[in-house]
Structure 1
């Protein structure tokens, strides 16, 4: 059961990281900032995701 749970948590983190990277790319931030955010999310998947959620650039959302 432990390995199944760990695999599921890993999959959820991967999906959230991909979603965060897509949102960074869609944002209106400068190219340098986008590169830094993407690298942060890739190299620190959990911590980078948390930092991005708090302080990262937002995508161009139209309501």
Structure 2
């Protein structure tokens, strides 16, 4: 049971990170800001996601 739960949580986490990257790409932020947010989300998924929720582009 542990493997299935871990796999499901990993899939959910992947979906959340991909969703955040898509939201950043569609935002009205400048090109450099988008690039930096996407790199932060890719290289530091947990910290980047928290920072994006707190400080990222709104709307």
Q: TM-score, normalised by structure 1?
A: 0.83
Point out where structure 2 has 5 or more consecutive residues left out of the alignment: none
Choose between structure 1 and 2 for higher RCO, CA contacts under 8 A separated by at least 6 residues: 1
Tell me the number of residue pairs that the alignment of Structure 1 and Structure 2 aligns.
59
RMSD: 1.1
Instruction: Please give the secondary structure, in 2, of the residue aligned with 1:58.
Output: coil
> What are the ranges of 5 or more consecutive residues in structure 1 without an aligned counterpart?
none
Contact 1:24 1:58 in 2 (8 A): no
TM-score (norm 2): 0.88
Structure with more of its chain in helix, by fraction: 2
